[in-house]
Chains A and B, each alone.
Chain A
Amino acid sequence: AQKITQTQPGMFVQEKEAVTLDCTYDTSDQSYGLFWYKQPSSGEMIFLIYQGSYDEQNATEGRYSLNFQKARKSANLVISASQLGDSAMYFCAMSSSSNTGKLIFGQGTTLQVKP
């Protein structure tokens, strides 16, 4: 069975510092994608970053980077230079070649950025 685990229910970070949100996954598929989404208090789901299982380099999108360690089955999100607007719930998700692209989500991590 495929599974996403986010072990940090809540995290705090000081403004302008970097923070790492953990995500581990479990799948027997060779081809899969890993995603991070941000959900602010307003409720919408905002796509942040994607990493394919065959991508050799870690994905980066502005202040977001994904620390992909395939052998350890981890896909941690790194947010650099945190801003107050980064305070939100963050979800790690996975889709794979065997499941038509549907996303399996972790339980989420609530991030609070302190001024």
Chain B
Amino acid sequence: DSGVTQTPKHLITATGQRVTLRCSPRSGDLSVYWYQQSLDQGLQFLIQYYNGEERAKGNILERFSAQQFPDLHSELNLSSLELGDSALYFCASSEGLGSYNEQFFGPGTRLTVL
């Protein structure tokens, strides 16, 4: 158990819908990262928050947004869903920002868009 929790574990929805994925980082970790894992794109970085502020953006679509709350949990919002958004979405957390920080991953949310 990494100490990072993600809910829900599975999510099945239809095209055009909106969903929210939730992540609670390990106790004491200030940095939260979101990653998407799909068969065709592999593991890709989406967005990072540090202590409530957005710090880096990767290949995140405009239909996707995220935030980190004062209690440090984070939510990833996916809207106007398309079939291609079906993927495994991971949240990871680390203590700080540097390249030396180990990132611990949550169990992931498997999103299926029908």
A99 in contact with B105 given A32-B99, A33-B100 (CB within 8 Å):
no
Interface positions, chain A 95-115, Cβ under 8 Å from B, are: 95-97, 99-105, 107-108
Pairs of residues from A and B, 4 with the lowest C-beta to C-beta distance, nearest first: A45-B105, A105-B43, A33-B99, A95-B99
B98 sits at the interface (CB 8 A): yes
A47 on the interface (CB 8 Å rule)?
yes
Q: List 22 A-B contacts (CB under 8 A).
A: A32-B99, A43-B107, A43-B108, A44-B105, A46-B105, A47-B102, A47-B105, A50-B100, A50-B102, A53-B99, A93-B43, A99-B56, A99-B99, A100-B50, A100-B55, A102-B56, A102-B58, A103-B35, A103-B103, A104-B45, A107-B42, A108-B42
Are A100 and B97 touching (Cβ within 8 A)?
yes
A14 in contact (CB, < 8 A): no
Residues of chain A touching chain B, judged by Cβ–Cβ distance below 8 Å, are 29, 31-33, 35, 37, 43-47, 50, 52-53, 91, 93, 95-97, 99-105, 107-108
Question: Complex formed: what's the CA distance from A93 to B99 in Å?
Answer: 11
A69 to nearest B CB, angstroms? 19
CA distance A108 to B94 in the complex (A): 22
Given contacts A33-B100, A97-B99, 12 further A-B contacts (CB under 8 A): A32-B99, A33-B99, A35-B102, A43-B108, A91-B43, A93-B43, A95-B103, A97-B98, A99-B99, A100-B50, A101-B101, A101-B103
Q: Name the one of B58, B96, B101, B110 contacting A43, with C-beta atoms under 8 angstroms.
A: B110
